[in-house]
Structure 1
Amino acid sequence: MGDRWGVEVDRSVCIGSAQCVHRAPEAFRLDTAMQSHPAEPETDANERILEAAESCPVEAIMITLLGSGEPVFPPED
């Protein structure tokens, strides 16, 4: 079985650019305030979700490995 990820969007940072929705429309939604949120906060590891996080201009998307909490994105310094 593959890795499972926890996906979060820091709504205090999100500017509603919708880059995540364009990159992974199955994984992210915009609410009425035009801020992103994950469709599922726990999901199978997925390259499109990682690309969506990397495309966020303000790095509002955090991905961690479920179980260990190890960061997937953004990477630790």
Structure 2
Amino acid sequence: MPREIRIDRDLCMGSGQCTIYAPDTFDQDDEAIAVVVDPDGNTEAELMSAATGCPTQAISVVHG
């Protein structure tokens, strides 16, 4: 099932938790805001851990 990973740039505080939980999917830009580098880089479980581990809940995973 296709999925879309969304990051609310206004909510992201740059904690980097997503890069710990799903390092092959997320990175941080020059402003330390989360970016998706490979939506298929990590497992579904790792993506959900990244989303729930985000302190500001800036990450959502939408299944299409």
**TM-score, normalised by the number of residues in structure 2:** 0.87
Name the one with the larger helix percent: 2
Q: Which ranges in structure 1 are unaligned for 5 or more consecutive residues?
A: 67-77
Which of 32, 35, 47 is the aligned partner of 1:34? Answer: 32
Higher relative contact order (CA 8 A, sep 6+): 2
Give the structure with higher Rg (CA).
1
Q: Which runs of 4+ in 1 moved over 6 A?
A: none
Name the one with the larger strand percent: 1
**TM-score, normalised by the number of residues in structure 1:** 0.74
Aligned partners of 1:45 and 1:63: how far apart in 2?
Answer: 12
8 Å CA contact 1:8, 1:37 repeated in 2? no
Aligned partners of 1:60 and 1:32: how far apart in 2?
Answer: 18
Letter in 2 for 1:46: E
Superposition map of 1:54-65 within 5 A? 54-65=52-63
Q: Which ranges in structure 2 are unaligned for 5 or more consecutive residues?
A: none
In the alignment of these two chains, the number of paired residues is: 63
8 Å CA contact 1:13, 1:60 repeated in 2? yes
- RMSD over aligned CA atoms reads 1.6
